[in-house]
Chain A
């Protein structure tokens, strides 16, 4: 006689198909060994069910969220510290380098000074008129920037 050892636990759990359950029940009616196994399985099951389920800690969620948020804040603080340090270093470099030239966005003022120099030269008796006129006008800058017709 073949004993359905593998199926007995499933029979206890009630997860067999109706046909399988009917066949197991018929076997148990004629097999005291398998009935004993089934009795043991049911006892263990009752024992497990008798253990109370632990109640979830009501503060756990808040603690977990705080933990997650905290790690994010720590990361942000670290980046902020890096940025502040970089800005401070740049500022320190800007302020402390003794001979650093002042940044200029263009050379407009110096160009005007050179033009004025040429204008003063134009009044000189030894001035070459065509050269001094060229240098005294805004002409070089315009010629450089503008595409005129032939």
Chain B
């Protein structure tokens, strides 16, 4: 990891971990990310044509699931999150985060790019955990849990690197290198897109709130909600096909 990146991770890590509420959310985010990775790995077990890799993917999936549980338990030990207190259903969180969806990561990337993704993502995780370890963040209990996870992550980096090296030895060196570069570029692009989306969400929230406060309020005078009890349903339309085509 470059010095700039190390400083960045150290700075953001220190800020995030020192605030209990933020630390709790971070641990939950880690837990969800690990769960998403486990699902990606299980999908890879199903879809891969490299039968010799299935066992490694399966073990990797089991590791990620275990990590997810560890992070969740660490987060829970710090108290409930706002979402939990609100009784909010967090289903769909993984989908919203783009971790899973209509197509699995393996289907989108294919074997080589998937391995490159595993190698780069797990490598990043190892580097982050090493920085946290040096800074003794966030606390002794979480650090101890992270030590076990770190060992697993090193295995994930090692086997994915070994497979990419094997591809290189088989005459696909250029493709393997490009896959790693492509992954790094895509991860940067995704971060930028996420930041853009966040900025867009904040901007639209500001404008929409302004619209709400300035334009909506007069209509309040005529808007009413039902007071409960049976109401008469809308009249059935005559042309059912025409009505069925309507979204209203």
Q: Do A and B come from one complex?
A: no
